[in-house]
Amino acid sequence: MVLEVGRRVDDASIAELTRADSIEKRRAHFAVGTVVLKTMVEELIDMGFEWVLPVMLSRTTDPLWPDPGASIEKRIELEIYGERVRTMQSMIVHKRVLVSLGPEKFFILSPNIRIEKRERAYTGWHLYEFTQLEIEMAYARMQDVFRVYERIMSAAVRRVREEMRDVLQALGRELPELRPPFKVVSRRELVKKYGEDWERRLPHEIREPVWVTDIPREFYDYEDFETGEWRNYDLYLPEGYGEVISGAEREYEYEKMLTKIKRDGLRAEDFEVLLRLAREGRLKPSAGAGLGVERFIAYVVGARHVAEVQPFPRIPGFVGEL
């Protein structure tokens, strides 16, 4: 079967992933993943970041709307203690509150649940359970976030190349060195070059990671109402691996956030704490992002599908025994 651009696997490949019969390869993936995570965490701590533990259930989570890249089939809600709560889709709202009231520079290994549409099984990028390496920094700009992720990613790749050559060789992976700073392009430039299908085409065209900026998205991403520019960004990996980081400079003005919430058809009461802090002038400007841990490790090891680096694959449309 010849795969179209944006499809990395077919039905036979997914059937293989759902069987636990590639034990040695998975062991190699886990070993590489350990080095990757250890390196990135050490680098963040060396830069003065504090390590914060994640939230899994909350009355508030990222709405993922209106995000052109979102493809959610179902949003999970349940009742505890007489209250309706949601499973965490992203900790962005919590990060905004925490960076304003607590540590001003922190990271989180945050588990997320996003029940993606079933056809996203074939991209090779998507999971319905995954982990993000989140950071948030008060008073930061997007270039500050670029430098942090470029440092931790390049350090992780360098250590894997130096310490795990035999493992990479056994996996048949020729892992290129990452050379920051990565190129930065605007979404508008990419639309002119590739059309509206740029997100699928870009990862197959580039040879090194590329930051893409100015993407219309959720209310908490900073938008310049005068120019229409969004101060947000995604990082795309080459070799067809796609978007691995998503982030932004953040909105912090009450009236502006409220206007955007109403414009997007969201419920203001779902973001009560965030709006109250903004109304009181206590919501600090910040910038941050989240790196898809499984996606980055999949790139490092050369996996065909991101689920290969999970102990129990969480592929959209497929529910395993465990």
CA atoms within 13 A on the CB side of 243: 18
In a domain, 201, yes or no: no
Q: How confident is the model at residue 60 (pLDDT cuts 50, 70, 90)?
A: very high
Q: How far is CA 205 from the centre of its chain?
A: 21
Is the link from the previous residue into 203 a cis peptide, with omega within 30 of 0?
no
pLDDT of residue 1: 28
State the amino acid at position 303 in one-letter form: A
Q: At 46, give phi and psi (nearest 5°).
A: -60, -30
Cis before residue 176, ω within 30 degrees of 0?
Answer: no
Q: Residue 23 — very low, low, confident or very high, per pLDDT cuts 50/70/90?
A: confident
Asked whether the predicted pLDDT for residue 2 surpasses 70, the reply is: no
Inside any domain, residue 132: yes
Is it the case that residue 22 has pLDDT exceeding 80? no
> Which pLDDT tens digit goes with each residue over 151-186?
999 999 999 999 999 999 999 999 999 999 999 999
> For 244-262, what is the mean pLDDT?
98
Residue 20 lies in a domain: yes
Within a domain: 236: no
Q: Is the pLDDT of residue 20 over 60?
A: no
| Tens-place pLDDT, residues 297-312 | 999 999 999 999 999 9
Domain presence at residue 58: yes
- Residue 103 structural domain: 11-179+266-309
Residue 315 lies in a domain: no
The answer as to whether 303 is a domain residue is yes
* CATH classification at residue 83: 3.30.930.10
Taking residues 48-62, report their average pLDDT: 97
Number of domain units in the chain: 1
* Percent of the chain clearing pLDDT 70 (strictly above): 96
- Angle at the Cα of 142 (from 245 to 262), degrees rounded to 5? 80
Q: What is the pLDDT of residue 45?
A: 98
CA atoms of 120 and 124, how far apart (whole Å): 8
Task: Compare 23 and 278 and report the one with higher pLDDT.
Answer: 278
Inside any domain, residue 225? no
Token duo for residue 30? 């886990």
